[in-house]
Amino acid sequence: MNTFRILTLALASLAASSAIAQITIDQNKALAGNVTPGDTPGFPVRISQPGSYKLTSNLIVPASTPGIQILAEGVTLDLNGFSLRGPGTCTRDGGTRAVTCLHKDIVSVGIESVGAGTVVRNGSVHGFGGTGVYLTESGHIEDLRLSHNAGYGAALSLGNALGIEAEMNGMDGIRALSGSVTRSVARNNGANGFTVIYLQESLAYENKGMGVNAAGARATVSRSNGADNFQSTTKSMGGNLNGTAPW
């Protein structure tokens, strides 16, 4: 193999690895801006190009401000065990199960995606005035803890959810208008635990509204919610496990 061909292959390999390289985001980069083209300094962080992104620190977001906006298709955002944190907190009345949240502001969404094929995973989204994670197109969320958001913990128009903990949010823990929610927990939320199309192997308890409001649900456990524990056209609820996840 001649020197020119070796150099050509090396450059091609470098270009390929650069194309799939994971872009890191931390607090300093968020404040500086230019994470991707068009991203201005401060929040929200705007992701305008497809690819893989990873947090390398917690992101602390001011009040009444979105955290991360995903504008491109095919984005994977790994929170890498870190938190995206707004300043909000919610309190709960143990008697009425009512949840009251500070800094209520529907435009203050923790992570919002308008691009198809978004994946968000592995971390927490806490304290936003609106919804914690909002996917308007197809996508997937996994291994997230969503708490103290004044809106929904997660709202998915076309997405799936796996391994989500939604706790102490002002509205539903998880609202999924299509797709499925699996192996997730919704507790102490201000409305329903789950409002979903398809739910399995999940637990809802101590929510102010229904534990589960679903068109079709399977292997679902629900207890101690404010309204009807379970409403579904295909009821197949497991036994009362007293708060113990059914898997």
Question: For residue 209, what pLDDT is reported?
Answer: 85
Residue 8 pLDDT > 80:
no
Contact 145, 173 (CB under 8 A): no
Q: How far is CA 211 from the centre of its chain?
A: 19
Indicate the average pLDDT of the chain. Answer: 83
- How many whole angstroms separate alpha carbon 76 and alpha carbon 118? 6
13 domain residue, yes or no: no
Answer whether residue 2 shows pLDDT above 70: no
Cα(35)–Cα(40) distance, integer angstroms: 8
Beta strands in the chain, from DSSP E residues, in sequence order: 23-25, 45-47, 51-55, 59-60, 68-70, 75-78, 83-85, 90-92, 99-101, 111-113, 118-126, 133-147, 154-162, 165-167, 174-182, 185-187, 194-205, 212-223, 230-232
More confident: 46 or 5: 46
Whether 99 is covered by a domain: the verdict is yes
Residue 102 covered by a domain: yes
The amino acid at residue 45 is: V
Q: Token pair of 14, please? A: 């470098």
Q: Which residues contact 74 (CB under 8 A, 6 or more apart)?
A: 50, 51, 115, 116, 117, 118
Any domain includes 200: yes
Q: Are the beta carbons of 67 and 125 closer than 8 angstroms? A: yes
What's the CA gap between 153 and 178, in Å, rounded? 16
* 57-106 confidence digits (pLDDT tens): 999 999 999 999 999 999 999 999 999 999 999 999 988 889 999 888 88
Q: Over the stretch 172-194, which tens digit does the pLDDT of each residue have?
A: 999 998 888 988 999 999 998 88
Does residue 85 form part of some domain? Answer: yes
Which residue range is the domain that position 207 belongs to?
A: 22-232
Number of domains in the chain: 1
Domain assignment of residue 126, yes or no: yes
Classify residue 130: in a domain, yes or no: yes
**Do the Cβ atoms of 137 and 158 come closer than 8 Å?**
yes
List pLDDT tens digits, range 19-35: 457 999 999 999 999 99
Note whether residue 101 is domain-resident: yes
Say how many C-beta atoms besides its own lie within 10 A of residue 116's C-beta: 16
pLDDT of the residue at 189? 94
